[in-house]
Amino acid sequence: MIKNIAFKLKDSFYYKNLERLLEDCSTVLDVGCGSNSPIVNIRRHFYSEGIDIFPKSIKESKKNKIHDKYKIGDVLKLEDYYKKKSFDAVIALDLVEHMEKKDSLELIKAMERIAKKKVIILTPNGFYHQDQLDGNPYQTHKSKWELKDFKRLGYKVYGLRGLKFLRGEYASIKFRPWFLWGLIAFISEPILYFIPQLSYHLLAVKKI
């Protein structure tokens, strides 16, 4: 029972901040949306489209009716599918680390051209090993991202999911008892929101 409550609470701070960042947006493009986008966990007041290269993920997302419209496509060809300034917000949540860095940097530029108001990116702070997941070869981690990378690109960066050293592969808590260390991660998250260099996840935001 306690573990189930903790599981529901563990990402509530993340969802609350994502919801806040999107409150002034009426259209959202979710790049690399996957099968279970975090958008499903926030209050929806906007039209959204999702794009992903893995058909199985799109099929699962469609089944859960997460987005209003979908596209199966290569995100590295984003501008072949979407026009400039066509969405208020363009988001990529846990995506850029799955590509080579030079490709991700090109993708970010494309996202900035498509966005009218803002670009939001979520990625682990540093490199964490991850192999393919659920038969999806695109789940492998290929690049390392740090605070300085986003600062250089003009992004404001926040920290999420608590102390970096507490989590490992798939953002799972590394130490036992899980509940105790998970609680510490949860408590530390709002404290470290403005100290992203110590946090597990980097939430990078750029106003266009």
- Domain hosting 178: range is 2-207
Residues 53-58: contacts with CB within 8 Å, 24+ apart? Answer: 53/138, 54/136, 54/138, 56/134, 56/135, 56/136, 57/33, 57/136, 58/33
The residues, any chain, with a CB within 8 Å of residue 33's CB and separated by 6 or more, are 39, 50, 51, 52, 57, 58, 61, 66, 67, 70
Using 50, 70 and 90 to split pLDDT, how confident is the model at 130? confident
Across the chain, mean pLDDT equals 93
pTM, two decimals, is: 0.93
Q: In the predicted model, is pLDDT for residue 33 greater than 60?
A: yes
Q: How far is CA 178 from CA 57, 155, 172, 181, 189, in A?
A: 29, 33, 9, 5, 16
Question: If you average pLDDT over residues 27-49, what whole number do you get?
Answer: 97
Percent of the chain at pLDDT above 90? 85
Using 50, 70 and 90 to split pLDDT, how confident is the model at 9? low
* Total domains in the fold of the chain: 1
Q: In the predicted model, is pLDDT for residue 131 greater than 70?
A: yes
Question: If you average pLDDT over residues 6-11, what whole number do you get?
Answer: 59
Q: In the predicted model, is pLDDT for residue 106 greater than 50?
A: yes
| Type of residue numbered 106 | E
CATH, residue 201? 3.40.50.150
pLDDT of residue 1: 40
